[in-house]
Amino acid sequence: MITPDIYFENVCPTLDMNIRSELYSVNDFTFAVAVILSAQATDKKVNEVTPELFRVAPTPAKMLDLGIDGLKSYIRVISFFNNKATNIMKLSEILKDTQGDDWKFPEQYHSRDALIKLPGIGQKTANVITNVLWGAPNIGVDTHVFRLAHRFGWVDDTDNTPDKVEQKLLQKIPKKYHPIVNHVMVLHGRYTCKALRPNCVNCPVQKWCNAKNK
């Protein structure tokens, strides 16, 4: 059985914990835009378009200058780009101010409750932003976190929504790990404990794992 302590103690040393997200960004605003773009899309796909986009539009004001058609021309290959472009322009309108390219979220937005009131930012996106930017102890439950939590037996069949899984994980996993749960489980799920054909021979927790579907 993989307990949370065994898991994080053995998986973390195999990862670069300084890299809290694989999404390319240059400041808080572009990180939020990248997370919005990554819904229903892979980080890899998002990273193909964002370096060029963020070179011309690294702040809300510059995004507004680019305009919605300009934005769409950069993100056309990303799924749901029309909706995402509309939300990013609305977000830019709200966040526009005189900050320079090293743009940071004003204090008033440093919570999940404040962020989810912004266009294009749902609970999962807010979780990832607060977790990565400010180390907030909440857990963004994406497809990898959801799958691994079930595979390790940390949640059960009744935990069938991201919200339920997050609540169960917050109880089950010691607090000291909360700021890194999403990051660690996403990377482990993406590269090792994959949905199909998990790479068990190279897994740091193989000797404790009794997952049925490995």
> Where do contacts with ligand SF4 occur on this chain (CB under 6 A)?
151, 192-193, 198-200, 203, 205-206, 209, 211, 214
Cβ at position 208, least distance to ligand SF4 in Å: 8
Q: How far apart are CA 8 and CA 11, in angstroms?
A: 5
Quick one: 80 or 208, whose CB is closer to ligand SF4?
208
72 vs 144 by CB, closer to ligand SF4: 144
Q: Are the C-beta atoms of residues 186 and 194 closer than 8 Å to each other?
A: no
The active-site residue out of 124, 175, 176, 212 is: 124
Of the candidates 61, 25, 81, the one whose C-alpha atom is nearest the C-alpha of residue 71 is 81
Nearest of 188, 213, 212 to residue 12 by alpha carbon: 188
Closer Cβ to ligand SF4, 31 or 154, answer by number? 154
In the complex, the smallest distance separating the C-beta of residue 147 from ligand SF4, rounded to whole angstroms, is 9
Nearest-approach distance from CB 205 to ligand SF4, in angstroms? 5
Distance CA(38)–CA(91), nearest Å, equals: 16
Residue 142 appears among annotated catalytic residues = yes
Could you count the other beta carbons within 10 Å of the beta carbon of residue 19? Answer: 9
Which residues, including other chains, have CB under 8 Å from residue 160's CB and lie 6 or more apart? none
- Please state the closest distance from residue 163 (CB atom) to ligand SF4, in A: 24
Identified catalytic residue from 28, 43, 72, 142: 142
Of 21, 11, 28, 23, the closest CA to residue 50 belongs to 23
Q: Is 86 exposed, middle or buried (0-12, 13-18, 19+ CB in 10 A)?
A: middle
Residue with Cβ nearer ligand SF4 (17 or 195):
195
User: Which residues are catalytically annotated?
Assistant: 124, 142
